[in-house]
């Protein structure tokens, strides 16, 4: 039987508009006309899923947040039911996230003070429906609101958005910030930046696994490129970084159970410190000490001897090369300043 393309188009449009009863009636009609077409059964499952949750689309406390949470449940439902009709899924996604945008904007408007969480969710919604510039604007504003938490979603979302708009340097800055703040909370599966996917593959090939992978990604990104651009740190950041390094050095000696997590995180902290010494304040003697400590730590990495040797060789070549280049530049500059004409 010839597929009724127009009927399907009308079903998708009804789903996109949130007219679930119309969508259901049209789908049942399609099933009567072409009972052997599996698409209609899948579309009906999608419609029924959201028909049972229509109260979430109405104005109500936290309904915008609830819709976003329910979307994740819906994706799990689709996997379980093997629903692979992309047009139907995209149609309902459009309705869910546009409705969530309306609800979140209203919630934000009624809030007595700027709510960072609402802004992050709003930015996520703009991102999901492809309104990229609005997503960036919203998330940048959310990032400007001071907070003590280590929520890294904002950095991974902005990293994706900057990459999509061609700003690779800003993208790297955002991802590096996420891995600095709380690497174990980074959802690697939602990151679109190809370099991180390649880095992850290399880390896996070198024998690291489970939670170790997230800790090694920023280190490999620095050593093998892909995550080489980082923001400048302020003096307060520098002092905080030094305190963390002292704490982690102690933990490395005492807590053997989490050594495989602590070691790469400590190396990453040292790499941030190295950049500060070299590129921000020109403290090359301190930088030399940092490089030596990084190489010592890499000698203790728990992986195959081949992977460890390869990693150590790369670090030695790159870090010593950076120091030599900067020291040469410093000597040349000093000589030029001392020249008498």
The rounded distance, in Å, linking the Cα atoms of 48 and 174 is: 39
266: number of CA atoms within 13 Å, CB side? Answer: 26
The rounded distance, in Å, linking the Cα atoms of 136 and 141 is: 8
Q: Angle at CA 162, nearest 5°, toward 171 and 225?
A: 25
The rounded distance, in Å, linking the Cα atoms of 74 and 53 is: 11
Give the contacts of 82 (CB within 8 A, at least 6 positions apart).
Answer: none
pTM for the full model?
A: 0.88
Instruction: Name the phi and psi angles at 159, rounded to 5.
Output: -60, -45
pLDDT at 2: 65
pLDDT at 340: 47
pLDDT per residue as tens digits for the range 6-35: 999 999 999 999 999 999 999 999 999 988
Instruction: Name the phi and psi angles at 85, rounded to 5.
Output: -80, 95
Q: Over its length of 341 residues, how does the chain's per-residue pLDDT go in tens digits?
A: 567 889 999 999 999 999 999 999 999 999 999 888 899 999 999 999 999 999 999 998 899 999 999 999 999 999 999 999 999 999 999 999 999 999 999 999 988 787 899 999 999 999 999 999 999 999 999 999 877 777 899 999 999 999 999 999 999 999 999 999 999 999 999 999 999 999 999 999 999 998 999 999 999 999 999 999 999 999 999 999 999 999 999 999 998 889 999 999 999 999 999 999 999 999 999 999 999 999 999 999 999 999 999 999 999 999 999 998 876 665 455 544 554 44
Give the contacts of 15 (CB within 8 A, at least 6 positions apart).
Answer: 23, 43, 46, 47, 88, 91, 92, 95
pLDDT at 1: 56
């Amino acid at each position: 039987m010839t597929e009724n393309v127009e009927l399907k188009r009308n079903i998708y449009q009804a789903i996109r508009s949130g007219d679930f009863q119309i969508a259901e009636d049209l789908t049942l009609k399609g099933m009567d006309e072409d009972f052997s077409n599996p698409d209609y059964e899948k579309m009906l499952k999608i419609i029924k899923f959201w028909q049972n949750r229509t109260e979430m689309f109405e104005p109500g406390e936290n309904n915008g947040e609830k819709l976003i949470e329910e979307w994740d449940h819906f994706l799990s439902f689709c996997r379980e039911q093997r629903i692979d009709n992309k047009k139907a899924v995209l149609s309902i996604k459009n309705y869910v996230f546009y409705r969530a945008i309306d609800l979140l904007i209203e919630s934000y408007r009624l809030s007595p003070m700027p709510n960072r969480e609402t802004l992050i969710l709003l930015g996520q919604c703009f991102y999901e429906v492809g309104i990229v510039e609005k997503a960036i604007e919203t998330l940048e504003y959310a990032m400007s609101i001071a907070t003590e938490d280590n929520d890294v979603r904002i950095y991974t979302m902005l990293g994706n958005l900057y990459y999509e708009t061609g700003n690779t340097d800003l993208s790297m800055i955002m991802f590096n910030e996420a891995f600095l703040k709380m690497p174990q909370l980074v959802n690697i599966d939602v990151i679109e930046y190809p370099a991180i996917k390649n880095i992850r593959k290399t880390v896996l090939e070198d024998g690291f696994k489970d939670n170790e992978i997230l800790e090694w990604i920023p280190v490999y990104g620095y050593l093998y490129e892909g995550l080489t651009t980082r923001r400048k740190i302020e003096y307060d950041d520098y002092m905080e970084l030094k305190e963390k390094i002292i704490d982690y050095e102690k933990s490395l000696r005492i807590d053997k159970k989490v050594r495989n997590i602590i070691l790469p995180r400590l190396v990453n902290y040292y790499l941030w410190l190295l950049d500060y010494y070299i590129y921000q304040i020109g403290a090359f003697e301190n930088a030399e000490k940092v490089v030596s400590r990084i190489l010592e730590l890499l000698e203790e990495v728990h992986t195959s001897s081949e992977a460890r040797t390869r990693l150590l060789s790369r670090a030695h070549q790159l870090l010593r090369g950076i120091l030599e280049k900067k020291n040469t530049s410093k000597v040349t500059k000093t000589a030029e300043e001392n020249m008498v004409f």
